[in-house]
Amino acid sequence: MLRKDFLWGGAIAAHQAEGAWDADGKGVSCSDVETIGGNGIPRRLTDGVIPGEIYPNHEGIHFYENYKEDIALFAEMGFKGFRTSIAWTRIFPNGDDDKPNEAGLQFYDRLFDECHKYGIEPIVTLSHFEMPYHLAKKYNGFTDRRCIEFFLRFARVCFERYQTKVKYWMTFNEINNQADINQHNLIQEGAVILREGDDPEYIMYLSAHHELVASALAVKAAHEINPDLMVGCMIGMNGVYPATCDPQDVMNALGAMHQKYYFAEVHARGHYPKHILKKFERKGYPDFILPEDKEILEQGKVDYIAFSYYMSFASSHKRGNKDFDYTSDDFVRNTCLKASDWGWQIDPLGLRWCLSWFHDRFELPMMIVENGFGAYDKAGEDGVIDDQYRIDYLKEHIQALKDAVEYEGVDLLGYMMWSPIDIVSASTGEYDKRYGFIHVNRTNEGEGDFSRSKKKSFHWYKHVIETNGEEL
């Protein structure tokens, strides 16, 4: 049985929903220079905002103007919690500004007050794929240690301003996406722009390290400002299974888990695991982990672990490497599982596996802050979207988290479904990849008036919350 104060709710990100990309003193974020993509079509990173290009984040779903109506709909479903992020560029437009933008601070005051009006607990991520573009251009993001101080300044302002309005915080969203070397991940996570002659892997580890130090400093600062604040890490979690029982596949899957989730070890235990240090040694990377960094990491351990879960992976050993170092090329299709229209494998039991994996290692409270099903939705003749496929997906995943609590004793604080309202996809920049209980009338082609309507799943989730997950 779930705890009586279980936080049922949903999650969005500022850059995917707010729009108003240049309103009230907001600066340009890295997401503001990513174009629209599509299913199988990657987003492009442009050198600044280019006239004629389509940037869906500029509009989002007009949440900046419509947040009161949207939160009222969340309240109608019975939300106990609402996860969102603070757009760094609303507070510090360039990222390295000396003083914060008061208009941006006031917006989040109003947003959090509106949540509390309905008894909804705000759950806030500081950096969710929306770092200031100025930091990318001037410093190459978190490859420069100065960005640690810029982030800490931003975090301190937020903690001090909202300490009575926000209890649960996270530092960097899906920080471990920096296990896969590509420009999309690096710009979203660390405002890093790859340049000719760069060693992309080294750049990735360097940027990630500076973020881990910044995160630890933020945790320490939050506890100094208000000991009641709870600061967690946020991990993009997808369990990696061996493709077969061949011991080589088993070791290869272990290597993938090492690479993708050492971030959780650093956040929760306050130091790097030896396997990643040995990898740095093999690679011959300069020692960017300074002696003072080790002390900072030890002092800034997180209070809880938050994570997203959408799918699992299967790994096959193909390269004959004795180190079993991870590469995404080792991933193969798990023939035991079905997949979404975007090729994401559907594995409800994998959520229970991931909860147990975290629990076994860290024995910290956890929160699922993203779990959802992206699909092409189509309204019926009555105008209502019958998204039973979404209900089926969520029902099975909620049952899995309940089983993890009952059978493994997992300490689970809450479940933030992604996303309760249709928003812009972070990976593809689409409107047509829909997750919500609430339909937003907008298409990839720029058609639609952004009006809201309830899908079948809206009423289902309301009942789930009413029964504290007992009736699915």
Residues 6+ apart with CB under 8 A from 82: 9, 10, 11, 71, 74, 115, 120, 121, 122, 123, 416
> Which of these, 332, 334, 329, 364, lies nearest to 350 by C-alpha position?
334
> Collapsing DSSP states into helix, strand and coil, what is residue 46?
coil
Sheet containing strand 331-332, strands side by side? 240-242, 313-315, 331-332
448: tokens are 């639609």
- Please give the structure tokens belonging to residue 288: 């960017």
Task: Of 99, 182, 93, 103, give the one whose Cα is nearest residue 135.
Answer: 93
Q: Could you tell me which residues are beta bridge partners of residue 170?
A: 125, 232
Structure-token pair, residue 466: 């009413």
Distance CA 94, CA 92 (A): 6
- For tokens 């990735």, name the residue: 204
Helix axes 183-190, 200-225, angle to 10 degrees: 20
Q: Residues with Cβ < 8 Å from 364, sequence gap 6 or more?
A: 268, 302, 303, 304, 305, 358, 411
> What whole-number distance in Å separates Cα of residue 350 and Cα of residue 443?
32
Q: Which residue in the block uniquely carries the two structure tokens 């059978």?
A: 407
Q: And the tokens for 359?
A: 């629990």
The bridge status of strand 452-454 relative to strand 412-418 is: unpaired
* Tokens (6 digits) for 414: 């809450």
Place of tokens 């088993």: 250
Determine whether 224 is an active site residue.
no
Separation CA 169–CA 428 (nearest Å): 26
For CA atoms 261, 262, 263, 268, the dihedral sign is positive
Q: Is 174 a catalytic residue?
A: yes
Catalytic residue among 59, 114, 174, 430: 174
User: Which of the following is catalytic: 121, 211, 370, 430?
Assistant: 370
DSSP string across 92-113: SSSSS-SS--HHHHHHHHHHHH
Q: Which of 247, 306, 303 is nearest to 270 (CA)?
A: 303
- Residues taking part in catalysis: 174, 370
